Copies of this chain bind each other. A is one copy, B any other.
Amino acid sequence: MSDTEFDVVGIGNAIVDVLAQAEDAFLEQHGLAKGAMTIVDADTAEKIYGLMGSGIEMSGGSAANTMAGIASLGGAGAFIGKVCKDQLGEVFSHDIRAAGVSFTTAPDENGAPTARCLICVTPDAERTMQTFLGACVDLGPEDVDDQVISASKVVYLEGYLWDPPRAKEAFIKAAKAAEQAGRQVALSLSDPFCVDRHREEFLDLVDNHVNILFANEDEIKSLYQVDEFDDALQQVRGHCDIAALTRSSQGSVVVAGDEVHVLDAEKVVDVVDTTGAGDAYAAGFLYGLTQGEDIAICGRMGGILAAEIISHYGARAESDLKSVLNEKLK
């Protein structure tokens, strides 16, 4: 790991989140799959938005949130993702750069607008997401700069990239460039429904390209189509160098070869909104890893960041993450 400009380069959907509070009855009434991320077309997105309450807009996107978190911790990060040259695209570009992340992917001049994710936050702090991919569908291999990839210790990808048609080509290109340069490839499985949609490809990826896998309990069980977490854990061992498996209030389990670390969750006084918990975990973990920390410490760092994110509304940090981390790791 030498001659690198970036600790991590993330590739993902470039999305602006629209968050609004909603009751469970609202989800039921409109047939929204609670806790899931559902891809919707422009018309459906407009219809659902029209039904939602007053919202707040914040930059989002899974890998983009992770990169913003890494940069906030002091890590050097870059992001590759596609926005349109519109107002929401400006918001996304501004925010990720303001967080300290290098973002140079050319925006679409025309075509579909910048992606948005309509997030209903229910009183139990669960988020239900409807994503209109918009300009994200135009991300392709031409947007992946091999030099940025080979200049990064880790290439981090979100499983959601398998939804837009050409993004997986971008990912394969990036994974190969990373392998050639001797860098590591990390993947987040993103969402159990996303795993359902792309299981065969994800299994192949994990076997052949991925060094570091992030998944929550539902996702890893979905990947291996098993009912018990422990069965999934046994399956994933040996398929990648490191698997970091998150279990909400039960903390996380980190596996690397023969090493298994079972880490308790950080205490959270008031869980407000779970949007971005997995993204934040990956940020803490990858920051630790690229700073040379042991994987147990990386897992703790992930847990600390996830606890910060779920204690407020929205998927990006409200606090000085570096101080939070230093305080908790004392």
Contacts and interface: CB of A to CB of B under 8 A. Distances in A.
Interface of A: 20, 49-50, 52-59, 68, 86-88, 91, 94-96, 98-99, 113, 314, 316
A59 B56 CA distance: 8
Contacts of A314: 56
A311 to B, nearest CB: 14
Contacts of A68: 54
A142 to B, nearest CB: 26
Given A52-B98, A87-B86, A58 B57 contact: yes
The winner among A54, A55, A58 for most chain B CB atoms within 10 A is: A54
A82 B99 CA distance: 32
Given A86-B87, A87-B86, A87-B113, A95 B55 contact: yes
A50 B91 CA distance: 10
Contacts of A98: 20, 52-55
A280 to B, nearest CB: 14
A83 to B, nearest CB: 12
A95 B54 CA distance: 4
A132 to B, nearest CB: 12
A49 B93 CA distance: 11
Given A56-B57, A56-B58, 14 more contacts: A52-B94, A52-B98, A53-B98, A54-B59, A54-B94, A54-B95, A54-B316, A55-B91, A55-B94, A55-B95, A56-B314, A86-B86, A86-B87, A87-B88
12 contacts: A20-B98, A50-B94, A54-B68, A54-B96, A54-B98, A54-B99, A55-B91, A56-B58, A57-B58, A57-B91, A86-B87, A87-B88
A58 B20 CA distance: 11
A98 B20 CA distance: 10
Contacts of A99: 53-54
A155 to B, nearest CB: 23
A7 B253 CA distance: 57
A94 B49 contact: yes
The winner among A52, A56, A59 for most chain B CB atoms within 10 A is: A56
Q: Which 10 A-B pairs have the closest CB atoms?
A: A57-B57, A54-B95, A87-B87, A54-B98, A56-B58, A53-B98, A54-B99, A87-B88, A56-B56, A86-B87
